[in-house]
Amino acid sequence: MIEQIAPADFARWLANAATAQPLKRAVLLDVREPHELQWASVDKDAARLGCTVVAMPMATVPMRLSELDPDQPIACLCHHGVRSMQVARFLVGKGFGEVVNITGGIDAWAEQVDPSMARY
């Protein structure tokens, strides 16, 4: 079962991940398409919270899997949480340890974390 976290709880999840694996910086894996990234980005929030954002469209994840560390905490994000859930399941199936899905995606992020963010 993939853990679901609300965007408002992301900072707490990051803190827990940092405590559990202090040498592994958490990754926010944004699986949206490039044109979606132009509308809204979590880069500034991620930098403030101390995680790395990796933009990897869902369709490219299987061929780019080697770019991700299976021992690194990963939170998956898309527009509404459906594609990111599929990617989270895929990663767990490939042996990735700590993987969560951000429920509601970037749309919920804009509502709960950064109301100034453009919504689409």
Can you give the pLDDT at residue 78? 98
Token match 């509502």: residue? 111
Token match 């101390």: residue? 50
Q: Where are the domains of the chain?
A: 3-112
Give 54-113 pLDDT, tens digit per residue: 999 999 999 999 999 999 999 999 999 999 999 999 999 999 999 999 999 999 999 999
Give 2-14 pLDDT, tens digit per residue: 999 999 999 889 9
In sequence order, the 6+-apart residues with CB closer than 8 A to the CB of 38 are none
Tell me which fold the domain 3-112 belongs to: Oxidized Rhodanese; domain 1 (3.40.250)
Can you give the pLDDT at residue 20? 75
Parallel/antiparallel/unpaired status of strands 3-5 and 99-102: parallel
Q: How far is CA 20 from CA 17, 90, 120, in A?
A: 5, 23, 35
Residues in the chain: 120
Parallel/antiparallel/unpaired status of strands 27-30 and 74-77: parallel
- Name the catalytic one among 78, 87, 102, 117: 78
In sequence order, the 6+-apart residues with CB closer than 8 A to the CB of 10 are 28, 49, 75, 102, 109, 113
Whether 78 is catalytic: yes
Token match 């990234």: residue? 37
